[in-house]
Structure 1
Amino acid sequence: MSNTFLATSDHWRNRYLLMRHGHSQANQQALIVSSPERGIDAFGLSETGEQQLASIVDTWPWPVPTRVVHSDFLRTTQTAARVANAFELAMTPDKRLRERFFGELEGGSDARYPDVWALDAESAEHGTHKVEAVGAVAARMMAVLEEWERKAEGETILIVSHGDPLQILLTALKGRPLTQHREQPALLPASITQVGMP
């Protein structure tokens, strides 16, 4: 997987606002919800998440987006909708922005995340517990940006996804080994990281 053309700002055609979904019911219940079967129709935003989005939209400090592209999970769709409605934008769902699949750990306690991350630090291609490999997550996330870089120019695109995929993407964009994705500062619910053209 090549990410060199996105590694420096002078190669970007667009600006991207990488947004983690707001605080969710899965966060509230400390559960791993990573499968489409569970995540598309359930485990949306918590009351805290709704408040976060209301506050962010009211005080929006970033460039105004021209497009909203989002994971089709409920928590990301609801997050994207709050921003899209505020700026009167259409929404584009993209399955490649989904949560990293945590395999046999699905539906269990999120206390198991560090077990997987420790294995990630040893290999970006491991599939222990049938977890989606870091390399596969990076490839699909990068593919989304690469596609928009080909078909748009001068836009500000809000990308709404999940914590692990976004940390992995940011690691790839920096050209760092994917095994180091947990060294990337943790992305808080409803946080936004700007990348791309100034």
Structure 2
Amino acid sequence: METVLNGGEWELKQYGRLKGAGQSEETTSWKIFNTSTKSGKLILTILNTGHFFISQEHMMLEGFSLISAQTWLKVLRKSDWLLFGSNSKQKSRIFKVQFTGESEEKRMENCHSCLQKLQVFIDLQNCFLMESSHYRPTDGSVPIKQITQCVMNQQSKGLDTSENPVAGSEELGMFIKLCLLDEHFPVF
């Protein structure tokens, strides 16, 4: 069996799921899972058949098919983190993963490798990759307004609004604000 049926498998340092996505900011919180000797390794698996899984030991934390994902799934990359956002059948779901590695370079490499496998199922032109120098701050921080503009500009270049899982700029603004307020989300 070559890398999980010719797919890919990556060990994660952390997986977080936003509880109450799509609701008011006061009712949302992150449920965080970490790799540890007690609870086991977090593993992200993408099969060649298009199945996406995140598991810890014998418990599946996330699982769905990527077959039509480009119509409902968005991915944001920051350093060695991927943030996934989806809207399907009036339900919003947001989760994030951080990759493991013995160095920052190795973690970034693992993140990039996962993105390459996702590219088979999702048009990365419709994903938000926040890695270009245009979005890098000089003092270590980026205003929420600039991030919102970045995402909105990228969004307008992507799918038309009938296929876009983000309903409007208000929801997108809340989504970005929640990410930035999360203590475990990478600093911008």
Q: TM-score surpassing 0.5?
A: no
User: Whose strand proportion is higher, 1 or 2?
Assistant: 2
User: TM class, shorter-chain normalised?
Assistant: 0.3 to 0.5
TM (normalized to structure 1)?
0.32
Flag the structure with more relative contact order, 1 or 2, with Cα contacts below 8 A and sequence separation at least 6: 1
User: Whose helix proportion is higher, 1 or 2?
Assistant: 1
